[in-house]
Amino acid sequence: MRRHRRLRLLVPLLLFAAACAPAREAGASPVSPLTRVPAADRKAAPDLGGSALDGRAVSLADYRGKVVVLNVWASWCGPCRAEAPELSKAQRDLAAEGVQVLGVDTDARRDNGRAFQEQHALSYPSLHDPGSRRLVRLPKGYLPQALPYTLFIDRDGRIAAKYLSALTEADVRAITRPLLAE
């Protein structure tokens, strides 16, 4: 009876832990959150566009010719909060080299995203995408399963890499360096 009670308590805890773990795709490294896509295998990123958190129109196509760091986040996501200053630093430091960070806020309420943007002094725009209605247009294998989630788009608008964890400015620099050299 006692063992059964412990098991009843343990199962929900294990299910919760499994749900919080990032999903791995076949062939993904069990250690690295980064998956690079060879140039010949890259798929075109859809033109994600709409209203930014500040109300202005924003579109992924606006940044064609640049390497885009497309970061998917939500205000309630702890790791998203940790990486926000790093992404702002990357935007400031790498913009002159041709890198553009573009956020995608998945919060249901725009005011939550705006508060996050102000609190973290984001130096890049964020598309408001409640319910991920625009993100579902991403090619198969690139739809976020957990947050934060980042796609790296090459200068030709093709998905060159995905990153399944919080990023640092150094990570962004290391991932974009070879894309800038293409």
* The pLDDT value given to residue 87: 98
Centre a 10 Å sphere on the Cβ of residue 142 and count the other Cβ atoms it contains: 19
Do residues 46 and 138 touch, judged by C-beta distance below 8 A?
A: yes
In degrees, rounded to 5, the angle at the alpha carbon of residue 79 between the alpha carbons of residues 73 and 82 is 100
Per-residue pLDDT in tens (0 to 9) along the chain, 182 residues? 554 444 344 333 333 333 344 443 444 446 789 999 999 999 999 999 999 999 999 999 999 999 999 999 999 999 999 999 999 999 999 999 999 999 999 999 999 999 999 999 999 999 999 989 999 999 999 999 899 999 999 999 999 999 999 999 999 999 999 999 99
What tokens does 113 get? 């995203």
Rg (CA), the chain: 18
Coil, helix or strand at residue 70: strand
* The pLDDT value given to residue 53: 95
Give the full edge-to-edge strand order of the sheet including 99-105: 34-36, 159-163, 149-153, 67-73, 99-105, 126-128
